[in-house]
Amino acid sequence: MKKYKVITCVGTRPNFIKVTQLEKYFSLCGISHKIVHTGQHYDAKMSDVFFEELGIKTPDVYFKLTPTSQVGIISQIMLQMEAYFLKESPDLVLVPGDVNSSMACAVVASRLGIPVGHIESGLRSYDKTMPEEVNRIIIDDISDLFFVTEPSGVDNLIKEGKDPKKINYVGNTMIDSLVAFLPEIEQSKIGDEHGLSSDDFVLATFHRPHNVDNEANLSVIVDLLNSVSKEKKVVFPIHPRTRKKLEEFSLAKKLSSDVLLVPPLGYFDFIYLIKNSSVCVTDSGGIQEETTYLQTPCLTVRPNTERPITITKGTNTLVELDIDQIMPYIKEIIRGEYKKGEIPELWDGKASERIVKEISSYLEE
């Protein structure tokens, strides 16, 4: 019997979290599994610490990229990935999410005639000003297997004419990691280190260019965090991009002393903060899912979301970057009057197992 080879391509912190449970299931199926780290997140605090903490096997290859524009990074990944795929001849390439690394790897695989599997397939914000939305559409247009986290993904793919036989509603691999590591998460000392009691603080994250690269918007975020800190202490794990912009616009000094700036955190510490906060105020994608599973209220400061189930079933609400709109929600949450969420179907820690089972069947066929 042929031994099949699958290559999983990762390059950013959110996508490392989505692949932690795949290796053991590929091993059980006798499928050779290699991991390529594209180097898109090259900061050790945003990358290496995650591999160490989450026990992901060391990447089989780690690309070195020269800092440049987004297009420059994508082109470097493509050239190095082409050489690697030609050398390895994989039977399938697996890409998670919607980042530039995933799109670049999927395009190269497709050009070389290698089947592509897409984790988190079918998510749509219908906002093409977001690079991630363009990436999602491109990846799904050239994928051979679609692994879907929520019903909207299935609906979107069918509307786009994808073969229903190739659409697999498997659940959420990000939740797989959360379930697997919950004992370690609960042992985190980050709360003790900063004197944080459960439900006694608000967790904030902002990193999207629309919010942090625009001086006027970042100024509103500073004012918002200061307003929230009058109700509860704010913990703000600060993305390198956001820190740079706060300094560049001379806004860091305007933050209240009740806004606690902390550096980028490891996975266990960060999820501990999500689990124990009163509310998360964020512009992230993945945090909408993690808060929904942990049933922590979430206010997502964006005009749209590609994860609508976090609103319809979960604990998430979309809000504009407007203090007068956000503060009433904060007060409602503190009073205990905010909606109660449900955990979506198949967000049970077994999505990775389902994905590997589908891949195994596909390769055998």
| Among 194, 207, 210, 239, the one annotated catalytic | 207
Q: Collect contacts of 253-261 with beta carbons under 8 A, ≥24 apart.
A: 254/222, 254/226, 255/222, 255/225, 255/226, 256/225, 256/226, 256/229, 258/229, 258/230, 258/233, 258/234, 259/204, 259/225, 259/226, 259/229, 259/233, 259/234, 260/194, 260/233, 260/234, 260/235, 260/236, 261/236
Q: What is the pLDDT of residue 115?
A: 98
Q: What is the count of structural domains for the chain?
A: 2
State how far the Cα of 278 lies from the Cα of 287, in Å rounded to an integer: 14
Rounded Cα–Cα distance for residues 246 and 218 (Å): 8
What's the CA gap between 323 and 325, in Å, rounded? 5
Q: Is residue 78 part of a domain?
A: yes
Using an 8 Å Cβ cutoff, are 148 and 324 in contact? no
Q: Does residue 126 lie within any of the structural domains?
A: yes
Question: Do residues 43 and 167 both lie within one domain?
Answer: yes
Is there a single domain that holds both residue 92 and residue 194?
no
Cα separation, 305 vs 296, whole angstroms: 18
State the DSSP code for 313.
Answer: T
97 shares a domain with 134: yes
> What distance in Å separates the CA atoms of residue 198 and residue 200, rounded to the nearest whole number?
5
Please say if 194 is a catalytic residue: no
pLDDT score at 359: 98
Same domain, 77 and 126: yes
Q: Which residue range(s) make up the domain with 295?
A: 183-334
Q: Is residue 157 assigned to a domain?
A: yes
Q: 64 and 139 share a domain?
A: yes
- Residue 317: per-residue pLDDT: 98
User: Is residue 176 included in any domain, yes or no?
Assistant: no
Q: How many C-beta atoms lie closer than 10 Å to residue 56's C-beta? A: 21
Q: Are 152 and 12 members of one domain?
A: yes
228 plus 133 within the same structural domain: no
Which is it for the CA torsion 216, 220, 223, 229, positive or negative?
A: negative
Residue 52 forms part of a structural domain:
yes
Q: What is the pLDDT of residue 176?
A: 97
- Residue 177 domain-assigned? no
d(CA 252, CA 229): 15
139 Cβ neighbours under 8 A, 6+ residues apart: 95, 98, 102, 103, 106, 116, 118, 121
> C-alpha angle 317/322/324, rounded to 5°?
95
Q: How many residues does the chain have?
A: 365
Q: Examine the domain organization and report whether 125 and 158 are in the same domain.
A: yes
The predicted structure's pLDDT at residue 48: 65
CA distance 23 to 145: 18
State the pLDDT at residue 69: 92
- Kindly report the pTM of this predicted structure: 0.94
Same domain for 352 and 329, yes or no, is: no
Pick the closest to residue 226 from 215, 239, 212, 236 (CA basis).
236
Note whether 120 and 215 are same-domain residues. Answer: no
Answer yes or no: is 341 within a domain. no
CATH number for 276? 3.40.50.2000
pLDDT in tens, the chain (365 residues): 579 999 999 988 888 899 999 999 999 999 999 999 998 765 555 556 667 788 887 888 989 899 899 999 999 999 999 999 999 999 999 999 999 999 999 999 999 999 999 999 999 999 999 999 999 999 999 999 999 999 999 999 999 999 999 999 999 999 999 999 999 999 999 999 999 999 999 999 998 888 999 999 999 999 999 999 999 999 999 988 899 999 999 999 999 999 999 998 989 999 999 999 999 999 998 999 999 999 999 999 999 999 999 999 999 999 999 999 999 999 999 999 999 999 999 999 999 999 999 999 999 98
Give me the torsion for CA of 5, 51, 181, 103, rounded to 10°.
-60
Angle CA(19)–CA(55)–CA(168) in degrees, nearest 5?
20
Q: Is residue 39 part of a domain?
A: yes
Do 73 and 126 lie in a common domain?
yes
Q: Both 161 and 189 in a single domain?
A: no
